[in-house]
Chain A
Amino acid sequence: MTSIALNKPGATLLLMGNEAVARGAIEAGIGVAAAYPGSPSSEVLPAIASAAQELNIHVEWSVNEKVATEVAAAASFAGIRSLVIMKQNGANVATDFIVNLNMTGIGEAGMVVFVSDDPGGTTSTNEQDSRAIAKWLDNPLLEPSSAQEAKDMVMWAYEISEAVNLLTFVRGVTRISYTKSNVVLGGLPEKMKTKAYFPELWDMHNPRKSSFTAGPSPVAHKLLHEKLGEVRALFETSSFNYYAGPENPELLLITSGACTSYCTEAVDELNVGESVGVLKLGTTWPLPEQLVAKHLGMTKRVLFVEETDPFLEQSVMELAAGLLPTTCDLAFYGARSGHITPYHEQSTNRVIHALTDIVKTGPYHPRDLTYATEVRDAATIVPLRPINLCAGCPHRATFWAVKNALQLDGRGGFVCGDIGCYSLGFAGPGFFQARTMHAMGSGVGVANGLGNLEDFGFDQPVLAMAGDSTFFHAALPALVNGVYNKSSFVLLILDNSATAMTGFQPHPGTGELATGDPAPVVDIEAICRAIGARVEVCDPFDLEHTTHTLLRMMDDGTGVRVIIMRHMCQLLKAKRGIPRRYKMHVDTTKCLWDSCGCDRLCNRILGCPGLMWNKETGKADIDEALCVGCGLCTDICPAHAIVREEVTR
Chain B
Amino acid sequence: MSSEALHKEPLNLIIAGVGGQGNVLLSACIGTALLNEGFMVSVADTFGVSQRGGSVASHIKISKKTLYSSVTLEGKADIILGMEPVETLRTLGEFGNPQVVVIVNPRPIYPSGGAAYPDLEELKHVIIRFSSRATFINATEEALNMGDHLYANILLLGSLVGSGLLPIGRESMIPVLEERFPGKLRKPNIKAFNRGLELGSKSFR
Contact = CB atoms under 8 A, between A and B. Distances in A.
Interface of A: 1-2, 12-14, 122-123, 146, 148, 175, 178-182, 258, 261-262, 265, 269, 347-349, 352, 366-368, 371-372, 374-376, 378-379, 381-391, 421, 428, 571, 600, 603-604, 607-609, 611-613, 623, 625-626
Contacts of A604: 113-114
A391 B20 CA distance: 12
Nearest to B92: A375
A528 B28 CA distance: 44
B93 A14 contact: no
B155 to A, nearest CB: 16
A383 B111 contact: yes
Interface of B: 18, 20, 27-28, 31-32, 35, 40-45, 48-55, 67-71, 73-76, 86, 89-90, 92-94, 96-98, 110-118, 122-123, 126, 129-130, 149, 179-180
Given A14-B32, A382-B89, 18 more contacts: A14-B43, A122-B48, A175-B44, A175-B69, A179-B44, A180-B31, A182-B40, A261-B68, A367-B75, A367-B97, A382-B90, A383-B117, A385-B53, A386-B111, A387-B49, A390-B51, A390-B52, A391-B52
A371 B51 contact: no
A372 B20 CA distance: 30
B52 A626 contact: yes
Contact of B115 (A175, A347, A352, A386): A386
* Nearest 4 Cβ contacts at the A-B interface: A379-B93, A367-B75, A261-B69, A366-B75
Please indicate which of the listed interface residues A179, A182, A375 has the most CB atoms of chain B within 10 Å of its own CB: A375
A608 B110 CA distance: 12
13 contacts: A122-B48, A180-B43, A182-B41, A261-B69, A367-B98, A375-B93, A378-B89, A378-B93, A378-B130, A383-B118, A385-B112, A385-B115, A604-B113
B97 A175 contact: no
B86 A378 contact: no
Given A12-B35, A182-B41, A348-B69, A122 B49 contact: yes
A265 B50 contact: no
Contacts of A262: 69
Contact of A385 (B50, B69, B129): B50
A148 to B, nearest CB: 8
Given A122-B49, A376-B93, A378-B130, A383 B86 contact: yes
Contacts of B122: 381
A389 B130 CA distance: 34
Contacts of B44: 175, 178-180
Contacts of A146: 67
A571 B180 CA distance: 21
A608 B89 CA distance: 25
Contacts of B117: 383
A375 B130 contact: yes
Given A179-B44, A180-B43, A623 B110 contact: yes
A391 B107 CA distance: 20
Nearest to A176: B70
Given A381-B123, A382-B93, A625-B149, A347 B71 contact: yes
A368 B74 contact: no
Contacts of B115: 383-386
B67 A182 contact: yes
A379 B92 contact: yes
A389 B116 CA distance: 19
B69 A258 contact: yes
B51 A14 contact: no
B129 A368 contact: no
Contacts of B86: 382-383
B114 A385 contact: no
A52 B67 CA distance: 30
A383 B149 CA distance: 23
Contact of A381 (B43, B89, B97): B89
B110 A612 contact: yes
Nearest to A610: B112
Contacts of B42: 179-181
A433 B180 CA distance: 42
A349 B73 contact: yes
Nearest to A345: B71
Contacts of A388: 51-54, 112-113
A108 B35 CA distance: 39
B97 A368 contact: yes
Given A146-B67, A383-B86, A383-B118, A372 B75 contact: yes
A180 B54 CA distance: 21
Nearest to B51: A390
Contact of A374 (B18, B89, B130): B130
Nearest to B19: A385
B67 A379 contact: no
A261 B70 CA distance: 9
A367 B72 CA distance: 13
B112 A609 contact: yes
B73 A387 contact: no
Contact of B111 (A2, A175, A385, A608): A385
B105 to A, nearest CB: 13
Given A12-B35, A175-B70, A179-B43, A1 B179 contact: yes
B159 to A, nearest CB: 21
Contacts of B111: 383-386
B71 A180 contact: no
Contacts of A571: 52
A600 B114 contact: yes
A371 B96 contact: yes
A2 B73 CA distance: 31
Nearest to B53: A609
Nearest to A364: B74
Contacts of A366: 73-76, 97
A113 B58 CA distance: 29
Contacts of A609: 52-53, 112
Contacts of B35: 12-14, 182
Contacts of B27: 180
